[in-house]
Amino acid sequence: MDAAIATTAATEAHPRRVRPGWTEAIGSLTEAFSEDPCLAWLLDSPVYDPAKACHIHEYTLRVASLWGRTWVAGPRSEGVCLWLPPGRVEVSTPMFIRAGGLGLRKTVDKDVIRRFSEYGEYSAAFHHRVAPGPHWYHLSIGVAKAARGKGLARALIEPMLAEFDKSGLPCYLETHNPANVALYKKFGFALAETGTLPRSQTTHFAMLRKPRS
């Protein structure tokens, strides 16, 4: 899942690990995903509700913080990028519970966990086919609208890709924003499969980046 990203030349954007007290990072993701088709699907609403969406972003941020990498860039964490490592690329039920997923029933709505489960089952089929071996999972990236075009996305993504290249591991991602497919290709990702999210017309793009020698 990702929001619209911009990839102009990086300015003075220095990625850093997100620290406890995630208010700014959650706020940036909540703004960045205001037009994201997948989040609209998870919220089951054509109207974006930031008061509900922020809880989904907090949960996702917690998942990456517990088991993967959480990077932010910009003076107020305007850019946020989340990764999951080999062996943790799928959120298991225990991971979901520990990251506070059950609380989404109260903060979002009573059916949101069912939708998370449905999305997980649907996306897992693509994930297994496209990236069957050890790999990193690019879980999410978002840049606040006012900070786009300043190189934050590039500053967040490129250091991790360089690490993957050194370790010889591929990276997998999913996006539901058609405009982002071309942008991810600039980072070396290739479109592997497409589908349509259940009960919707939202295209599911599965992309894989093989390590560069």
DSSP 24-61: HHHHHHHHHTTT-HHHHHHHT-SS--HHHHHHHHHHHH
- Condensed to tens digits (0 to 9), the pLDDT of residues 93-132 reads 999 999 999 999 999 999 999 999 999 999 999 999 999 9
The predicted structure's pLDDT at residue 197: 97
Question: What is the pLDDT averaged over residues 163-173?
Answer: 97
The predicted structure's pLDDT at residue 8: 34
* Of 85, 73, 76, nearest in space to 27 by CA: 76
Task: Specify the residue for token string 């102009």.
Answer: 8
* DSSP assignment letter at 90: S
Report the relative pairing of strands 171-175 and 136-143 from DSSP bridges: parallel
What confidence category does residue 38 fall into, taking pLDDT thresholds of 50, 70 and 90? Answer: very high
Domain residue ranges in the chain: 16-209
CATH code for the domain defined by 16-209: 3.40.630.30
- Evaluate if residue 16 carries a pLDDT over 70: no
- Evaluate if residue 3 carries a pLDDT over 90: no
The predicted structure's pLDDT at residue 46: 86
Question: What is the pLDDT averaged over residues 132-140?
Answer: 97
Per-chain mean pLDDT for the chain: 91
- Evaluate if residue 166 carries a pLDDT over 80: yes
Question: What is the pLDDT averaged over residues 37-47?
Answer: 93
